[in-house]
A = this chain, B = another copy of it.
Amino acid sequence: MMQKVGIVGLGLIGGSLGLDLRSQGLTVLGVSRQWATCERAIARGIVDQASPDGALLAEADLIFLCAPIAQIAPTLQALVPHLQPATIVTDVGSVKAPIVEQCSPLWANFIGGHPMAGTEAQGVEAGQRDLFAQRPYVLTPTDQTEPDALETLSTVVKSLGSRLYLCEPAIHDRAVAWISHLPVMISASLIESCLGESDPAVKTLAQQLASSGLRDTRRVGGGNPELGLMMAQYNQAALLRSLGAYRDRLDELITQIEQQDWQSLGQTLQLTQQERPHYLR
């Protein structure tokens, strides 16, 4: 019988989990590095108790690790000495295979998870009720996963109102590569290529038109292949020019990822992030 839930990391995802689970009558125990965050989480009603000390989770039946991807395994490692063997541990990271590979040897009762919900808000003020309702929540059990533990975690996920999907970690990662990670890189290349326009009159007009919103793009992209074809036929030269510049940026970005040039990729994502409102809405 599930009674106590631990949450490590009290930002958008952790805070939203806390609010929903407490509303179900569960006792929620929070862990965050900063005392100020712990106090604020208690004041907001996200958790019943909170502390920077993982020992608080000694009696938790289920723990959600809501740390950034790179911190999930280290966070679990630091927590292990405090836990009882029956405790189920899950995470909320948006990639699964590397996390499951790192965490399974640390904790037999680990099951990877990915709630596909969020807003742009961050921090202890960001948590909100019903963030996960009607949203996909993927769990990635392996051959070693205890069926009872999976059953228990699945029940909790469904109690959030989420749409539960179960799959292998690698299948999850390949699916989100298509629908989440690839679109991010494509948008970044698109914005970067627009930024490279050398004619100031073209660049200024493009930004002015884009920042007014692009309802007629939706008309083309969404409902009218004939119009898309007409655009290609009648604007062939300009379109090929833009497509060529776009492909060059895309090639650069692929090379950055292949060569693990994370510094350049980070700069690209930072820049295109800033410029995004000028080109895409």
With A135-B212, A178-B202 in contact, do A229 and B117 touch (Cβ < 8 Å)? no
Q: In the complex, A199→B224 CA distance in Å?
A: 30
Q: Is A123 an interface residue (CB 8 A)?
A: no
Cβ–Cβ < 8 Å partners of A246 in chain B: 182, 186
> Are B254 and A117 neighbours in the complex by a CB distance under 8 Å?
no
Which among A20-28, A79-87, A263-271 touches the partner chain? A263-271
Q: Is A59 an interface residue (CB 8 A)?
A: no
Q: What's the dominant secondary structure at chain A's contact region?
A: helix
Partner of A178, one of B136, B194, B225: B194
> Are A225 and B269 neighbours in the complex by a CB distance under 8 Å?
yes
> Are B257 and A212 neighbours in the complex by a CB distance under 8 Å?
no
> Are A120 and B224 neighbours in the complex by a CB distance under 8 Å?
yes
Shortest C-beta distance, A231 to chain B (Å), equals: 5
> Are B135 and A177 neighbours in the complex by a CB distance under 8 Å?
no
> Are A171 and B202 neighbours in the complex by a CB distance under 8 Å?
yes
Q: In the complex, A70→B209 CA distance in Å?
A: 24
Q: Is A48 an interface residue (CB 8 A)?
A: no
Q: In the complex, A84→B270 CA distance in Å?
A: 57
Q: Is A154 an interface residue (CB 8 A)?
A: no
